[in-house]
């Protein structure tokens, strides 16, 4: 749990899976990334799905909704999906929050592992998991998700967001947007063209939920390291360069969505290089 200004932020891991390391590390040789991360006999590394519950100013906000509960058995088995403490909704309830109490959901982007929990099945009908919430995503991200190409269509599934748009429950943002005092959605392109991160600010405190701008913590530390999933890798590199400088200047806390080892860290300058110093946080799931 983190306090920043009048907001309480809880981190809930919706699921942990195993994923092909070639996707996570792209062109980075295994001899390098394996110094920090372990892999199994199928060359898979562990990946988490850390969503946020934010409470304050009379609002209850969820940032990203994880994989959701509509995966078929074959897909779950292929991913080696585990939920030892339950999914996102279970984590919310453990903190005393029912889905009906959430009034805002922010999707950093519309890849299935970030918005799969937007919808739930009830008697073979798709319903919003958070029926009283307005869901936010960038307009360009929604356009790319609705009209994917051969490379991106494997992770964009309209059932996760199209019903919300038809129902008028999806708000499409046009660039950086203030959500509430001290909470801002910031476009951080590269992983997708309109990927967004979420910035929290209060006095000198600054916290950035970076999502897939840096899928693992090491991606933020090393500019040249990025995933094979980034649709615009050179844009990712320059976006990371910008936010590295910002993180150093403001001594900001960075939250990572997928890293199995590092949930939160601060970037520090060591000689002519930068490195991350991990901060220990308590997770609900």
**pLDDT number for residue 282:** 58
User: What does the pLDDT average to over 100-122?
Assistant: 97
**Between 283 and 141, where is the model more confident?**
141
- The per-residue DSSP string of the chain comes to -EEETTEEEEEEEEEEEEEEHHHHHTTS-HHHHTTT----TTSEEEEEEEEEEEEETTEEEEE--TT-S---HHHHHHHT-B-TT--HHHHHHHTT--GGG--EEE-S--SHHHHGGGEEEETTEEEESSTTPEEEEEHHHHHHHHS--TTTTTT--GGGTHHHHHTT-EEEE-SSEEEETTEEEEE--SSSTT-EEEEEEETTEEEEE-GGGGSSHHHHH-TT---TT-SSHHHHHHHHHHHHHHHHHHT-EEE-SS-SS-SEEEEEEETTEEEEEEE------
**pLDDT number for residue 285:** 54
**pLDDT number for residue 283:** 56
Is the predicted pLDDT of residue 280 greater than 80, yes or no? no
Is the predicted pLDDT of residue 111 greater than 90, yes or no? yes
Tell me what the pLDDT averaged over the chain comes to.
Answer: 95
Summarised one tens digit per residue, pLDDT across range 182-213 is: 999 999 999 999 999 999 999 889 999 999 99
Summarised one tens digit per residue, pLDDT across range 47-102 is: 999 999 999 999 999 999 999 999 999 999 999 999 988 999 999 999 999 999 99
The pLDDT-based confidence of 249 (bands split at 50, 70, 90) is very high
The pLDDT-based confidence of 122 (bands split at 50, 70, 90) is confident
């Amino acid at each position: 749990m983190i306090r920043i200004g009048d907001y309480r932020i809880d981190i809930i891991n919706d699921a942990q899976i195993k994923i092909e390391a070639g996707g996570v590390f792209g062109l980075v040789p295994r001899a390098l990334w394996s110094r920090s991360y372990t892999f199994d006999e199928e060359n898979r590394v562990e990946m988490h799905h850390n969503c946020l519950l934010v409470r304050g100013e009379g609002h209850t906000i969820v940032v990203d909704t994880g994989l959701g509960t509509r995966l078929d058995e074959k897909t779950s088995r292929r991913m080696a999906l585990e939920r030892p403490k339950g999914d996102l909704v279970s984590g919310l309830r453990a903190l005393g929050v029912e889905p009906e109490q959430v009034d805002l959901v922010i999707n950093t982007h519309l890849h299935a592992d970030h918005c799969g929990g937007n919808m739930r099945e009830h008697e073979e009908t798709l319903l919003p998991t958070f029926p009283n919430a307005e869901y936010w995503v960038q307009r360009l991200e929604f356009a790319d998700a609705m009209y994917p190409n051969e490379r991106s269509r494997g992770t964009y599934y309209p059932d996760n967001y199209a019903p919300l748009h038809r129902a008028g429950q999806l708000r499409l943002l046009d660039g950086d947007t203030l959500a509430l005092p001290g909470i801002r959605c910031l476009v951080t392109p590269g992983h997708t063209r309109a990927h967004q991160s979420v910035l929290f600010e209060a006095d000198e405190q600054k916290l950035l939920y970076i999502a897939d701008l840096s899928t693992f913590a090491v991606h933020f530390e090393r500019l040249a390291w990025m995933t094979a999933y980034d649709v615009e890798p050179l844009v990712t590199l320059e976006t990371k360069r910008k936010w590295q400088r910002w993180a150093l200047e403001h001594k900001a806390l960075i939250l990572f969505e997928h890293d199995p080892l590092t949930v939160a860290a601060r970037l520090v300058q060591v000689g002519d290089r930068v490195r991350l110093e991990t901060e220990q946080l308590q997770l609900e799931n």
